[in-house]
Amino acid sequence: MKVAIMGYGTIGSGVAKVLDTNSDIIKERLGEPLELKYILDLRDFPGDPHEECFVKDYKEIAKDKEVKVVVETMGGVEPAFTFVKAMLEAGKSVTTSNKALVADKGAELMKIAKNNNVNFVFEAAVGGGIPIIRTLTACLTGDVIEEMSAICNGTTNYMLTNMEQFGSDYDEILAEAQSLGYAEKDPTADVEGYDSCRKIAILTSLVSGKNVDFNEIPTEGISKITATDFKYAKSMGYSIKLVARSTKVGDTYTCRVAPFLVKPSQMIYHVAGVMNAVSVRGNMLGESMYYGAGAGALPTASAVVGDMVFLARNVDKHVRIGWSAEKLELADANEQKFRYFVRTSALQSNIENEFENVEYANLDLDNETGFITQEMTEHEFNERKAALGGIISAIRFY
């Protein structure tokens, strides 16, 4: 079985390393070896152990009938989309680690794969090494999925874990994460929740069978979370996690990415540092959780190689996943109900006037009061919050 890698960066070279290191066991499990024939990259890699594999034109790979499985680890929507489309149309199956490509073009590429009787898979695009995609599409196939909650961004989980542990403020921890390489120079995609948003859109598409437009998902990041918020959380016995959630409502889902207050009896409370986890509730299965390294070259490459084995086992047939191009109309996120923790400079009498039954979370800080609301819809909360005024911060309970 001849294979090709498009894009020899961190993940792509990780894939080559996994194929080299574990060639024996892969051959035993598959019944034949996975032989790397091409690596597509515009750069030169003199002295690389796979030096003879490098090509600069994707068409060389597309036209070689011997290659049945292609890996895309270039990142970004273009030219990845053009190259992947060409491979599928040339009768090759493709796996990608590229969440931008999958969130934007997943349903379209799935259709092209089906029409060409090949497969398009993307285990590494969500949750890094955690096999959440195959769990949803090939294991929990007897369940209606009622809720998914994902800690699916290692950068923000690392930052929040450290803010909690050291009592530090956001800017300080961001600078540290950047210096360690855990956060990018422009951290926007991670810290504002855009990365998590694309991932929960993909997961929701898979469980609903329809296509979720990630632009429609209300998304808040962690950049407004402060050391004081963590002090309040701790005083209540909670932590703060950036959670991407999807909840079944009637025939559709409602999605949201936001920081949530979580407590120790909830398994996701214990997901620390750069680790990721996806909690899934099925109507028959009940609660389950899948935990592991959400990023990193080798864990991600491990997921890509797992996909390659799957593709090699199904080289002559399209495996239905059930992700159509039909748009999923998400339920109104303003109708979701939560309990909220609120910090405000408003007077206690005004708080009780606007929110009626509240519990107080008192840190004895000057000029502010922390309180917990009853459960209410986003819509109602936003109205009462505006009427109260003096809001310093507000965080939902998970």
Count other Cβ atoms within 10 Å, centred on residue 269.
Answer: 17
* 59 marked as part of a ligand binding site: no
List 308, 346, 351, 392, residue binding its own copies (CB under 8 A): 308
Site residues (CB under 8 A) for its own copies, limited to 135-194: 135, 138-144
Q: Which residues contact 322 (CB under 8 A, 6 or more apart)?
A: 137, 206, 209
* 6 marked as part of a ligand binding site: yes
Q: Do 134 and 109 touch, CB atoms closer than 8 A? A: no
Q: Do 17 and 5 touch, CB atoms closer than 8 A? A: no
Stretch that binds its own copies, among 152-160, 318-326, 368-376, 379-387 (CB under 8 A): 318-326
Q: Does 10 bind its own copies (CB under 8 A)?
A: no
Please report the sign of the dihedral spanned by the C-alpha atoms of residue 127, residue 133, residue 134, residue 140.
Answer: positive
Burial class (CB in 10 A: 0-12, 13-18, 19+), 32: exposed
List 296, 339, 376, 380, residue binding its own copies (CB under 8 A): 296
In degrees, rounded to 5, the angle at the alpha carbon of residue 8 between the alpha carbons of residues 5 and 12 is: 65
CA dihedral 309, 123, 296, 217 (to 10 degrees): 170
x/- string (CB under 8 A) for its own copies, residues 327-346? --------------------
The catalytic residue among 85, 199, 241, 385 is 199
Closest CA relative to residue 280, chosen from 125, 130, 119, 159: 130
Site residues (CB under 8 A) for its own copies, limited to 230-269: 267
Written as six digits, the tokens of 343 are 């910090």
How far, CA to CA in Å, does 177 sit from each of 207, 271, 276, 293, 296?
33, 18, 17, 17, 15
Q: Which residues contact 69 (CB under 8 A, 6 or more apart)?
A: 1, 2, 3, 4, 34, 92, 93, 94, 95, 308, 311, 312, 315
DSSP state of 222: S
Stretch that binds its own copies, among 13-21, 146-154, 161-169, 213-221 (CB under 8 A): 13-21
List 235, 286, 332, 382, residue binding its own copies (CB under 8 A): 286
Nearest CB to its own copies, comparing residues 36 and 197: 36
User: What minimum distance in Å lies between the beta carbon of 63 and its own copies?
Assistant: 27
Query: What's the alpha-carbon Rg for the chain, to the nearest Å?
Result: 23
User: What minimum distance in Å lies between the beta carbon of 341 and its own copies?
Assistant: 24
Question: DSSP readout, 13-34?
Answer: HHHHHHHHHTHHHHHHHHSS--
Q: Does 319 bind its own copies (CB under 8 A)?
A: yes
List 92, 282, 336, 378, residue binding its own copies (CB under 8 A): 282
* 99 marked as part of a ligand binding site: yes
Q: Is 327 known to be catalytic? A: no
Nearest CB to its own copies, comparing residues 128 and 187: 128
Size of the site for its own copies (CB under 8 A): 55
Q: Does 22 bind its own copies (CB under 8 A)?
A: yes
Count other Cβ atoms within 10 Å, centred on residue 389.
Answer: 11
Nearest CB to its own copies, comparing residues 287 and 383: 287
Q: Do 341 and 261 touch, CB atoms closer than 8 A? A: yes
List 227, 309, 315, 333, residue binding its own copies (CB under 8 A): 309
User: What minimum distance in Å lies between the beta carbon of 12 and its own copies?
Assistant: 14
* 7 marked as part of a ligand binding site: yes
List 76, 79, 167, 322, residue binding its own copies (CB under 8 A): 322
Dist CA 356 CA 143 (whole Å)? 40
List 9, 76, 79, 209, residue binding its own copies (CB under 8 A): 209
Q: Does 122 bind its own copies (CB under 8 A)?
A: no
Q: What share of the chain is helix, strand, coil (3-state, %, to 5)?
A: 40, 25, 35
Q: Which residues line the annotated binding site?
A: 6-13, 99, 184
Catalytic (active-site) positions: 199
Enumerate binding residues for its own copies (CB under 8 A). Answer: 18-19, 21-22, 25-26, 28-31, 123, 129-131, 134-135, 138-144, 209, 267, 270, 275, 282-293, 296, 298-299, 301-306, 308-310, 313, 319-320, 322
Q: Which residues are annotated as a binding site for NADP(+)?
A: 6-13
Report the binding-site residues for L-homoserine.
184
